[in-house]
Structure 1
């Protein structure tokens, strides 16, 4: 408002300048006559006149404020009027020029700041858009690739079993958690670029292509919160001895605002990463929480809820806003070993309208349908399992496979799958928490054991790693039994981890001896006794040898692979080495 008043006052001064100029022209003529008559006077009169002019100038300086406001002093004689008007005009011009300069300067500064903010926002938007488009382009190239060339380039030696890993947005940071009770944070981008090399001693037992080392940035204890009465204080009573738990599961927020960690007492801690690194912000436990080791953590796409699985055979959904339990998925028959969200664009619809046996017995036949009886074929399809839709819905078609915000793979979060140590595989519908929507039974002669299960890229097939060195392939159109049994060499040992590749033809099978890139089409063709094929159904991925693979992480662009070795609290040995692989498309 002050700037507006100054501008209005300056405009008023400019308007009054025209009146001052007319008065000035008339006064100048009169003053010239008076001044000509005074030229013939004595020197004393001249000195008196000079003294009077100096006094007038001092008085005029005191009237500058009045002149700035557009006001002029009333002249007492001709000389005083001429001086006053001249000073007023000069002051008005100076004030107008100063105000105009100030307004122009302020306006230019504000405009420059606005332009800089807009440029920064547009630059950030353009960069994010370019990265997002790059991710989409790379994923599309990986989807149409015939095969993949996978080779290790970096190694992170850790003298402990690594049970869990988590990766932040854009492969910025890698988090590893193991049996020693520490969470380690690595600079993954600089590791991929080879900013740190392995020592000669570290290279001794590794593949020749492995030259880079992981860049460790920080680490902290996976602490269990304690009550004050339970804390053990030091001698000076200024510090306490923390109670540390092995890290069994990790899940990090895409922007590294927090990280979730599973504890051996059934609790879940939310720890700071970007701010107050390692400090516990919240403890998810309560009376209805888990009672045993939490080995599964999975954030949803909006990152406001997460799922947790435990050795107590319970599967819970938590709300990060309230810290409470939202849902509990019941009737899980075994300790949970893995959890996977379903990919987009799947054609088989998993129905949630599954009634219990008592409800089916007491239901009235006339109340089955409001629109008459169903055909026998439709009833038979409904009884056998899920139905198949002709094509994905429009909402699913509009979805992108990579999130613009988190740059993570987008899943159909309404359906997810879990595996258990007893070999069971459950497919859950989030709208129905009383029991699984579908159970996949293992084939005949398959031992009751399953550490890992994954979806095919199409969302209609499921791959389960088994103890007897094989991978079972299920088709949700006929889920009553496995469709194929992909056999590995008997010396390879149990399959501890499986991961599907984006071309929907290859899967990664990690066993005790090696990691194999399995071609499903060739393996299925070779399983036919009448078919004769000389093609080998798999290729060995170099790098890993001996020990159990606990995790296989495939980045959203399918250009990098990370493997960790650990027994996850169960039986088996580990190689104590985390490997990072590059993937070339063929």
Structure 2
């Protein structure tokens, strides 16, 4: 009996398919007449339509008894029938169906890329809005919220795109990777013992994700193999400088032997991909690393008093900036839209040294008009760099601050502060001399936000302010209490009114405008020109990192291999705008 039912079902499927083909052919003819505009309103057409509806009713009753093998055919036929009744032919339906299938994946990919682009655009607009708010703020309320206890001197830090990860390099030879976003959100709390010596507002702990040794590459002949000869004893260097690619594709680390390693982060974490050394590389501790905006080159400074530019595409030295007379302590690119043109200093220095133009210029035999067309180079013929109004202050790709990379500044342990122009590698474009009686020492210097001034921290508890329009002597001397000790780190705030001054006892938010007004006033002002930032006390500050939106601050403590003690704590601060 079951066999008979199967045979009847199969015959029913065949008969149904034949009826469907006849029905579709008739529907196609009718739909073609409808598309050609043959709507005469005749009674014959109405009769045909009624007959078709009856056939459709019979076919629908037959389709209920179809087997599972004809299910897909049934669905397609029903779709074709419905579309044909609406005036769409079978050929047209097939074309539409294929186009929908072919464009489905593409449309989904396009919508996915659109959503990602939209999200990136929203984050970029948020960053711009927050930076603008910080630039027009009258003051800042800075207070610590998280602490990362590390029992070593932290000499270097680096932060990836969007504050995703924080990398710390210590004198113990380890690079540590922290989840910065979740740390800022307070996903991990400090223990009671860890809170004991910290400020009350500090409740959160850093979330350590991984760590690895800062290894020095060795020749195979120099390796010390283990007893089984399968492993070797790695040679580890203290971490003196770090610079991470914005998407964490790699991280650069400075070694004590003068080498620079490129290590993997997202892939093969901690493995060395390239070793920048060579015959003409550094031969002492590399304590400065700075990637350019395109992240295809970087600058390195060392205790050997040399300043080199490396090409990441080839791994070779692209340029060497000469005549630096001291161990370099800091390096910063100039902010956008500075009104000071250093090209005049460049030209006068070239003439005085009678240097060959082809050797000093990075652009060979280009004429003056071609130099004006170079995107990142300083503008010639007295035009200031404000003419590049199309440049945003935050990069949409890396979400970092965009700088005028044609000019940068360095400071040295002998107290020197140099302004460099990338077109001239034989000597600095300008030198900022310290005032008489100021000891020869400078651990940190920074640009003002407008790029027209430079602040240099000194050993005698003061910060000297230089105006690049009159670089022969300091414009102002911003004094701190003598008990505060040497100023080891300075950082300008985005409103161009305040700077952060880190010394042995505290971090101070210094109001430059208030100090200058008090100095120019005949009457002595009773207002204190600075506020103390709580959290840090009793150690050397090695780094101050201010995020691009100016909502977070990170401070590390360490002597960077020179002199002083450490608090063994890295602090993360929240910044409220006032």
Q: Deviations over 1:142-165 (max 9, x none)?
A: 000000000000000000000000
Question: Which residues of 2 match residues 35-434 of structure 1 at below 5 A?
Answer: 107-351=99-343, 352-355=346-349, 359=353, 392-394=385-387, 396-434=388-426
Residue in 2 that maps onto 1:531: 523
Report if aligned partners of 2:336, 2:385 keep a CA contact under 8 Å in 1: no
Distance 1:571 1:565 in 2: 12
Distance 1:236 1:390 in 2: 68
Distance 2:90 2:239 in 1: 68
Q: Deviations over 1:268-322 (max 9, x none)?
A: 0000000000000000000000000000000000000000000000000000000
Q: How much has 1:392 moved relative to structure 2?
A: 4.0
Q: Deviations over 1:525-575 (max 9, x none)?
A: 233472221211000000000100000000000000000000000000000
Report if aligned partners of 2:544, 2:556 keep a CA contact under 8 Å in 1: yes
Distance 2:297 2:106 in 1: 37
Structure 1 pair 467–204 and aligned structure 2 pair: CA distance change class (3 A): same
Residue in 2 that maps onto 1:85: none
Residue in 2 that maps onto 1:37: none
Structure 1 pair 182–530 and aligned structure 2 pair: CA distance change class (3 A): same
Report if aligned partners of 1:349, 1:388 keep a CA contact under 8 Å in 2: no
Number of equivalent positions: 473
Residue in 2 that maps onto 1:506: 498
Question: Which residues of 2 match residues 415-564 of structure 1 at below 5 A?
Answer: 415-528=407-520, 530-564=522-556
Secondary structure of the 2:229 match is: coil
Q: How much has 1:522 moved relative to structure 2?
A: 1.1
Runs (5+) with no aligned partner, structure 1:
1-12, 22-96, 362-385
Distance 2:431 2:198 in 1: 41
TM-score (norm 1): 0.78
Structure with the greater alpha carbon radius of gyration: 1
Secondary structure of the 2:347 match is: coil
Distance 1:440 1:486 in 2: 16
TM-score (norm 2): 0.79
Secondary structure of the 1:442 match is: coil
Secondary structure of the 1:131 match is: helix
Structure 1 pair 139–483 and aligned structure 2 pair: CA distance change class (3 A): same
Structure 1 pair 521–419 and aligned structure 2 pair: CA distance change class (3 A): same
Q: How much has 1:98 moved relative to structure 2?
A: 11
Distance 1:286 1:584 in 2: 47
Q: Deviations over 1:111-168 (max 9, x none)?
A: 2211211110110010000000000000000000000000000000000000000000
Structure 1 pair 467–534 and aligned structure 2 pair: CA distance change class (3 A): same
